[in-house]
Amino acid sequence: MAILEVLKYPDPRLRHKAKPVDKVTPELKQLAEDMLETMYSQKGIGLAAIQVGVDVALLVIDIRPQGDEDRYDLDENLTDLEKAVEMPLVIFNPVITKKEGKTTFDEGCLSLPGYYETVQRSKYIEVTGLDKDGNPLELQLDGLLSICMQHEMDHLDGKVFIDRLSPIKSNRIKAKIKKFGYSPPEEEEEAEEKLLV
Ligand code: NI
């Protein structure tokens, strides 16, 4: 296992579009393991291969609390659909086949650490793909897991969450990143409390 470098916005490689895999090779399985270790090391709940500079359609998700139970008491808030999905979730070639409803969440991202904004997403989605062993996977998702999946799938399409904001909000974040980089002085403490996807 290895901790990988997570690319930070505006790294141009975050704009790459992921290619679907033909087959889940041992190398791709290892990449998924390394991505999980990287995600856990930064207390993230989701990570896309594009974020570690690999242009394949692979993402990993784990919405369970990681060691620090005080951070978020997620287990109690899990929906029945979320409970039905085994964590950690590794998925290759994810495709959304159905979406319903709307929801909002204050999103953050390991590629824009310290910055958060409310993003609108579909509330319920159905997703197909391949699991960590290359077997077909069909998921029905709602709650945080649905939001996280949509956020990570955006990465595979070369998008980051600020692309989903109004120009005013997105420009405000871009200007802050330009000025402060990834140590915004007044938001550091708040950042500790939030979820990173
Ligand atoms: Ni992200």
Q: How far is the CA of 49 from the centre of ligand 1 (A)?
A: 11
| The two structure tokens encoding residue 154 | 């955006």
pLDDT at 72: 47
pLDDT at 188: 52
pLDDT at 186: 60
pLDDT at 38: 97
The tokens 């077909």 sit on which residue?
A: 136
Catalytic residues: 152
Q: How far is the CA of 79 from the centre of ligand 1 (A)?
A: 22
pLDDT surpasses 80 at 35 = yes
Residues 154, 155, 161, 165, CA torsion sign: negative
What domains sit in the chain, N to C, each tagged with a CATH number?
A: 12-192 (3.90.45.10)
Q: How far is the CA of 171 from the centre of ligand 1 (A)?
A: 18
Convert the pLDDT of each residue in 124-139 to its tens digit.
999 999 999 999 999 9
Helix, strand, or coil here: 89? strand
pLDDT surpasses 60 at 192 = no
Q: Which residues contact 135 (CB under 8 A, 6 or more apart)?
A: none
User: What is the percent of the chain where pLDDT is above 90?
Assistant: 81
CA-nearest of 2, 10, 17 to 153 is 17
Of residues 71 and 162, more confidently modeled: 162
